[in-house]
Amino acid sequence: MVSTTQTYFDLLLGRQSCADSPWASPHLSKALRLLRERLTLGDDEVKVSNITASVVLALAVHAHIMGEREAAEYHMAGLRKIVNLRGGVTTFRDNGKLLIELLRCDVELALHSGSRPLFFHDPSLEPFLPYPGQALSLKPGKTDTTGPQCCSEKFLNDSDDELARAWKVMKRFCSQINSAV
């Protein structure tokens, strides 16, 4: 995004207060206006597209660079909503760079502010990202269910919710480990 790049160079060159930069401000205003237009469209696919997520991520990075913690957190919360509406972080597997930048920004903001990250703060609620070799051989959301170790999860219906969730997390984790070996 042009405004983020310009702000970065303004900071590097020691130019005046970056918030008042005559080079970056028009681009930031235009980016915000275009984002608002995208989000008010009736097309849900546009609202949760990689492009929209990238713009929101760039705005979060820009706010963080500017020291505007609340704005950065606001944009990250919006990004979390986009990820949730898409079906989780695994829906970004086709755009690894965007996913890595999203997670990097989340961790960076959490470390800088002393807060918890928005993604993977509760591992039992986030799906595991597929191991690279597994991503090629399995369809999204599927795990290896062949062999004698496969069992029904019907018994979980009668179990405590926390215990059932822990069991599912461990099952996914073990499946990932087995794929790596």
In whole angstroms, what is the distance from residue 155 CA to residue 168 CA?
Answer: 12
What is the rounded distance in angstroms from the CA atom of residue 54 to the CA atom of residue 76?
11
Over residues 112-138, the mean pLDDT reads 67
- Examine the pLDDT at 8 and tell me if it is beyond 60: no
Confirm whether pTM is higher than 0.85: no
